[in-house]
């Protein structure tokens, strides 16, 4: 009996979870399974290698998927047809996407201050300050728990991507803001609990506030700060944290550890958006040449 697209979608997610991917990552990689099901309009186990190749070209040429989206497509399809179904198609071995080498979007500290000043609510302001103060990813900040904050040692325990936990220095000012915001809801476990439509569910909420709440919050803060013409997102605060640390002379290895990057290669790109190294080089060159 033929299996449904939903069946293969669920099997792909389960396989990705077994491979160590997070639930959100697994769902992202598997999303192309549903699109393939609509495109083929027949059981996915009946699709042959050439049909899969045509679907990939359709998504690339007709749908104009960017390199990052094509990599997601490749991972999902390889998982289904190679790992789940056990096919040994040559196509699955050669799937590659050209990596985009875009520089990260970075803003200066004055712009960060303007965004925080225009956050609108204590909830959004404290959340945005937390993202910037520790260089966190969106989910990392949402899921901070009371026990993650070590006030004595001034450290934050970050439950990072790919099960890579790390400790990041806790600035005194940010610590005060976190304590002040927590005192408004006093949830026994979460720093940023969902407040509910009435705004009164914080003390008893068992889940953090939603992604859409914080994404909408930074969009409104950016607009009120007069920065709407720039593509500033939550991740911009993380990029800016890394760049500002490098500009202040923090070693790139230390920045890598604080960001939770698996390799130094991911951190090196921040050197391309800071002038600190160039300024130091100019001073050194002037000194050397002035002695001759």
Contact 258, 243 (CB under 8 A): no
Predicted confidence (pLDDT) per residue in 253-272, tens digit: 999 999 998 888 778 777 76
| pLDDT of 268 | 77
The CATH fold of domain 5-94: DNA polymerase; domain 1 (1.10.150)
Residues 6+ apart with CB under 8 A from 158: 134, 136, 140, 144, 148, 165, 166, 167, 168, 260
| pLDDT of 223 | 96
Residue 270 annotated in active site: yes
Evaluated on CA atoms 61, 63, 65, 71, the torsion sign reads negative
Supply the CATH classification number for the domain 109-279: 1.10.443.10
The whole-chain average pLDDT of the chain stands at 88
Q: In whole angstroms, what is the distance from residue 131 CA to residue 158 CA?
A: 11
Among 163, 149, 162, 170, CA closest to 258: 170
Q: In whole angstroms, what is the distance from residue 285 CA to residue 278 CA?
A: 10
Cross-strand partners of 166 = 158
Predicted confidence (pLDDT) per residue in 168-223, tens digit: 999 999 999 999 999 999 999 999 999 998 889 999 999 999 999 999 999 999 99
| pLDDT of 102 | 63
| pLDDT of 39 | 93
Among 23, 9, 26, CA closest to 80: 9
Token pair for residue 55?
């679907």
Domain positions in the chain: 5-94, 109-279
| pLDDT of 266 | 78
Residue 241, judged by CB atoms within 10 A of its CB (0-12, 13-18, 19+), counts as: buried
How far apart, in Å, are the Cα atoms of 25 and each of 16, 29, 34, 162, 166?
A: 8, 6, 16, 10, 20
Q: In whole angstroms, what is the distance from residue 131 CA to residue 115 CA?
A: 12
Give the active site residue among 78, 137, 185, 244.
137
Residue 224 annotated in active site: no
| pLDDT of 286 | 63
Among 142, 172, 140, CA closest to 158: 140
Task: Split the chain (292 residues) into runs of 10 and give each run's mean pLDDT.
Answer: 91 92 89 93 92 92 86 92 92 69 81 96 96 95 96 92 85 96 96 92 95 95 94 93 88 91 80 60 60 61
| pLDDT of 1 | 78
H or E stretch including 263? Answer: none
| pLDDT of 248 | 84
| pLDDT of 276 | 54
- DSSP classification of residue 45: G
Q: Where are the alpha helices (DSSP H) in 79-204?
A: 90-94, 109-117, 122-134, 138-142, 172-185
Give the active site residue among 145, 161, 166, 224.
161
Residue 137 annotated in active site: yes
- DSSP classification of residue 150: E
Give the active site residue among 21, 78, 238, 244.
238
Give the active site residue among 145, 219, 223, 235.
235
Q: In whole angstroms, what is the distance from residue 77 CA to residue 59 CA?
A: 12
Token pair for residue 206?
């068992």
Residue 235 annotated in active site: yes
Residue 115's SS3 state is helix
């Amino acid at each position: 009996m033929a299996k449904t697209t939903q069946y293969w979608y669920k099997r792909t997610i389960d396989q990705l979870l077994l491979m160590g991917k997070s639930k959100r990552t697994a769902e992202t990689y598997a999303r192309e399974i549903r699109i393939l099901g609509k495109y083929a309009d027949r059981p996915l186990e009946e699709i042959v290698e050439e049909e899969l190749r045509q679907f990939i070209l359709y998504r690339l040429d007709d749908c104009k998927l960017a390199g990052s989206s094509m990599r997601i497509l490749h991972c999902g399809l390889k998982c289904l047809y190679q790992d789940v179904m056990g096919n040994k198609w040559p196509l699955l071995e050669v799937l590659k996407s050209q990596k985009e080498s875009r520089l990260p979007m970075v803003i200066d500290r004055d712009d960060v201050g303007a965004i925080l000043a225009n956050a609108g609510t204590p909830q959004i302001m404290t959340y945005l300050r937390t993202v910037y103060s520790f260089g966190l990813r969106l989910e990392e900040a949402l899921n901070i728990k009371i026990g993650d904050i070590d006030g004595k040692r001034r450290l934050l325990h970050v439950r990072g991507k790919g099960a890579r936990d790390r400790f990041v220095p806790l600035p005194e000012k940010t610590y005060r803001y976190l304590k002040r915001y927590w005192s408004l809801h006093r949830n026994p476990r979460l720093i940023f609990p969902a407040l509910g439509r009435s705004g009164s569910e914080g003390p008893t909420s068992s889940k953090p506030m939603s992604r859409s709440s914080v994404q909408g919050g930074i969009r409104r803060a950016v607009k009120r700060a007069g920065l709407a013409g720039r593509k500033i997102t939550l991740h911009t605060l993380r990029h800016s944290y890394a760049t500002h640390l490098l500009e202040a002379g923090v070693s790139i290895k230390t920045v890598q550890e604080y960001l939770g990057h698996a390799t130094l290669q991911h951190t090196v790109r921040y050197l391309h958006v800071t002038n600190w190294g160039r300024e130091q080089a100019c001073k050194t060159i002037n000194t050397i040449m002035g002695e001759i």
